[in-house]
Structure 1
Amino acid sequence: MSEQEKTSYDISKDQLRPSDTRVMDPVSYTLAWIGGNISVAIFMVGASLVPPAGKLNLLQAFIALLTGLSLTAVVLTINGAPGHKYGIPYVVQARPVFGTTGLKLPALLRGIPALVWFGVQSWVGASAVNAITGRMFHFDNLIVIFIVFILIQAILSYTGMRGIKWIENIGVFIIFFSVVYMTYIIVTNFGASISENLIEYKGSWGMPFIAAITASLGFSTTIVTNISDFMKDVSKSVKTPFTAVLHWIAFVPTNMFLGLIGLMTASITGEWDPIQLFTKTLPDSPVLIVSLIFIAFAQITTNLYNNLVPASYVLMDLTKLEYKFAAPICVILSVATFPWKIASVGAFLIFIEICTAFFGAIFAALVTDYYFFRKKTLSIETLYDPEGPFTGINWRGIIAITCGAVIGLIFINVSWFVSLIPTALVYYLLTKYTNLSPQFNKGTIFEK
């Protein structure tokens, strides 16, 4: 291909082209993330911090949750800046770091967990619906309801981001008021037990506290990695630094409520599963039905926004399918992850810990390349050039995230933080002092 042919490449035909229709204003974006934040993960994180599973008291757990979630808002904004500025998804943002071929590894590292999350949360949502139909209509068939639950999400996914925006904006109000009400009911009915088990407990400000901060941040590391998939649809009139405020509003208050519900009820019942948790805490009451409806609805909103979109973009990059076809396929593929096996506390925790190590490393490589090597300047034409400098494999990025992830896995309780500096350092040293993948220096401070 000649230089003239390269420069005339029609980006508009690329399924992953820069977003030219920004459908999210600040309010819609914030509401979408409030609705998209609700998942079984934050219940489990809260439950894991306090006895019998953890070693923190109520104050320590509160501060750990607040710190971890606030850090999440910051790192989301940092990594999502190129997506917002240039309208590009994660799989395009990552091309300079890994190459169009090498990107398949980090893309799969993001896409496969998204499918797993989608399956697990669909199973939990279906379990909530099954509990409702069993109590109200005496119909108890989890498999049938799971299939229906999956099919509903497949239909909704076909509508694309506009359909997701619609259901998120409606669902957020149901979710928020349900969370506040559940917190009130639990504190009112079980205040004495909470005081004895959590407030009077000595706890620890040492490593368990630091690990709790990591866990509070860790359950969102998948979202941090591909946040550009969402920020690319935010209106250009919104300044990128201001999105940190939107992220904080969206992530912190609701997740603080959910984490606190998880830890309070876990201290009372010993359960982390939200279905069992509410069934034991609020047996045979209208509040239980409302809570189960809330859980079911929350899984749909979270699945569509947090899990389906990134998995679909990965499949689009690998197969060149359009979103309206890739999204329903991903919904079906999620069933093949056997979510009913993973939705147990042991497998669930292991899954989160392993993912966190890899996503910390990927985040470090992306940030190092964009902010330090390229000084926040990307060439859209170069990013989308099928025969440009970012084709093939950038071995420096692959080696760097491998080193960072391995170190993170060694210190699994704080894996996200531990993986950052080794990844950035290895990536910098390989770029500055070796001749590995030299074409990827195009547009960086190392270009000769």
Structure 2
Amino acid sequence: MAESTELTQHSKRDSLAPVDEGGRIFSLKSYIPFWISSMVVIQLFIIGQSFMPPSGKLNILQALTVTLVSSIIIGFMFVINSHPGIKYGIPFVVQCRSAFGYYGARIAVLVRVLPAVFWYGIGSWIGADAMNYVSTTVLGWGNVWLYFIIFQILQTAIAYYGIKSIKWFDSALSFVILAFLVYIVIQIFSTGKVHLISSWEASGSWGMPFWTAITASVGILITGAINNGDLARYLRKEPVQNWVGHFVGIVPMFIIMVAIGILSAAATGIWDPIRALVTLVPNTAVAVALMIFIVAAQFTSNLSLNIAPPALVLMEIFNIKWGLSVIVVGILGIITFPWLLLTSSAFNTFITFYSAFLGPLLGILIADFYLVRKRHFDLDRLYNSPVKFHILGFASLIVGGICGVIFLPISWIVGLPVSMVIYSIGYRIIPYYKRELAAHRVDEKAAVFE
């Protein structure tokens, strides 16, 4: 079992079988550093910078409250939705079969994996553009297209060799990333330009701008919470592994990244994360270190959040090798034309609307496992399901998504509970689903967290 479920360049669909205890390659010693490096997401810088004027309407107290509340919400989302993966050793696409059917799961997962492909290309382009800006400003030479191609080739090469390659790369670079983050904070305060008293005393807003900020902050990482079973299935099956692994690996880094965005903007007055950091660079040696940090940040977050999800889905649908899936995802990341998308207001609108369905998808997965199945999956049914399409799951997703679009500034806050309620009630009042659940009901004592 352990050999067939470990992702390597040669793995195919059968590697999606449940991972047994012998195949659990992550311990807390590697899982926490893995998430520390994966959490250096450039978009979190931007979110932090957008809280206060001139971009936002919050004062420093409200901005810090948003950061703390959002980090706790994200931590709980990862813990709650990682439980099925840890308990049963199943990936995201298999988990989705319970709520959407065997073939329906392949459609539902697109809500998660399509944005991953786009963000893969965008993340690589942001990293390439950042390297180009740093090298041009400090070293006098740069080529964004060369950097972009190098980014794609190197990321594809690392991911090509499978889960262990991703694990060790992300875990090892966590030390480089942490060291540079500490340096950035020191540099920010050494400028002597961080004036927080005026921001603290500003009136700000505890109304819609506050809730919109929480929606956006959580929205950046809700994608990772949705499919984290892909990674959590390799974590050792103990309750403490889930809670400690995610709250220690994710929550502090989330707070640090957003806080640095807030502070760097306050110190420099520049509302662009890379350009703000470059102004803090005192010499060429540090500039080179900054380039290493940029590469590490984009590589680690892309490997865990944007490459693995679509590659696994391609492998499951077409039964192709993992290595080929990774190469295809790398090509798709290029042909999304991120250099055009980043300058297109239409794309920002598209992403905003598309994201409205992420909360409902997570809500359905949570409702299915905890409220309907009572934390117990029939694995034989998941891998040999007679139900090809689960209409209730799709109906809940669509209605929740529409509600999210209607209340777009707080999309997932509305859409997630709506989908949970519809899905849960459907199983209690619709005769077909009542019979389907009764046919697979087990003693609820079996659902105790192992």
Q: What is the aligned partner in structure 2 of residue 249 from structure 1?
A: 248
Number of the residue aligned with 2:8: none
**Within 1, Cα distance between the matches of 2:196 and 2:289?**
23
1:401 is aligned to 397
Instruction: Give 1:361-440 correspondences, 5 Å limit.
Output: 361-385=360-384, 388-390=385-387, 392-435=388-431
Q: Structure 1, unaligned stretches of length 5 or more?
A: 1-11
Shift in Å at residue 291 of structure 1?
A: 2.7
Q: C-alpha distance in 2, partners of 1:38/1:345?
A: 25
Q: Could you say which residue in structure 2 is the equivalent of 1:146?
A: 148
State how far apart, in whole Å, the 1-side matches of 2:269 and 2:101 are.
47
Alignment of 1:316 with 2:315, yes or no, is yes
* Corresponding residue of 1:57: 59
In the TM superposition, 1:98-247 aligns within 5 A as: 98-135=100-137, 138-196=140-198, 198-236=199-237, 239-247=238-246
- Report the CA distance shift for 1:46/1:351 in structure 2 as closer, same or farther (over 3 A): farther
CA distance in 2, matches of 1:98, 1:171: 37
Choose 113-122 or 433-442, whichever is displaced more. 433-442
SS of 2:141's equivalent in the other structure is coil
Could you tell me which of 431, 436, 440 is aligned with 1:443?
Answer: 440
Deviations 1:389-434, CA, capped at 9 Å, x for gaps: 33x1101000001101110111122211211221122213333333
Cross-structure match for 2:4? none
1:215 Cα offset (Å): 2.1
Equivalence for 2:353: 354
* AA matched with 2:170: E
Aligned to 2:24: 22
Q: Decide whether aligned partners of structure 1 residues 419 and 139 sit closer, same or farther in structure 2, where only a CA change above 3 A counts.
A: same
Change (3 A) 1:253 1:355: farther
Counterpart of 2:182 in 1: which secondary structure?
helix
Could you list the per-position Cα deviations for residues 257-297 of structure 1 after superposition, in whole angstroms to 9, with x for gaps in the alignment? 22122122334555443222223454766444433321221
> Aligned in 2, Cα 1:192/1:117: closer, same or farther, shift over 3 Å?
closer
2:285 and 2:225 map into 1 onto residues whose CA distance is: 37
TM-score by length of 2: 0.88
Which position in structure 2 is the counterpart of 1:94?
96
Do the aligned partners of 1:315 and 1:326 also contact (CA within 8 Å) in 2?
yes
Shift in Å, 1:138: 4.0
What does residue range 311-350 of structure 1 map to in structure 2 within 5 Å? Answer: 311-344=310-343, 350=349
Q: What pairs with 1:233-312 in structure 2 (closer than 5 Å)? A: 233-236=234-237, 239-269=238-268, 271-282=270-281, 286-312=285-311
Q: Deviations over 1:145-165 (max 9, x none)?
A: 211110011111111110011
**Judging changes above 3 Å, is the alpha-carbon distance between structure 1 residues 368 and 358 closer, same or farther for their aligned structure 2 residues?**
same
Which of 50, 58, 70 aligns to 1:48? It is 50
Q: Provide Cα deviations, 1:28-47, integer angstroms capped at 9, x if missing partner.
A: 11111111111121011111
How much has 1:129 moved relative to structure 2? 2.7
Contact 2:13–2:315 (Cα < 8 Å) also in 1: no
TM-score (norm 1): 0.89
Residues 1:428 and 1:192: Cα distance change in structure 2 (over 3 Å) = closer
Q: 1:428 to 1:263 in 2, by over 3 A?
A: same
Deviation track 1:321-351 (CA, whole Å, cap 9, x = no partner) reads 1222211211111111111233359567546
Write the distance in 1 (CA, Å) between the matches of 2:60 and 2:344.
Answer: 22
Q: Is the 8 A contact 1:15 1:322 kept in 2?
A: no
- SS state at 1:82 partner: helix
8 A Cα contact 2:71 2:251, kept in partner: yes
Q: Check conservation: 1:130, 1:141, Cα contact below 8 A.
A: yes
Tell whether the 8 Å contact from 2:187 to 2:280 is kept in structure 1 after alignment. no
Instruction: Check conservation: 1:83, 1:231, Cα contact below 8 A.
Output: yes
- 1:187-232 per-position Cα deviation (integer Å, ceiling 9, x unaligned): 2204344544x33422122222222222221111101110111110
CA contact (8 A) 1:116 1:334 kept: yes
Cα RMSD for the two superposed structures: 2.4
Deviation at 1:91, TM superposition (A): 0.2
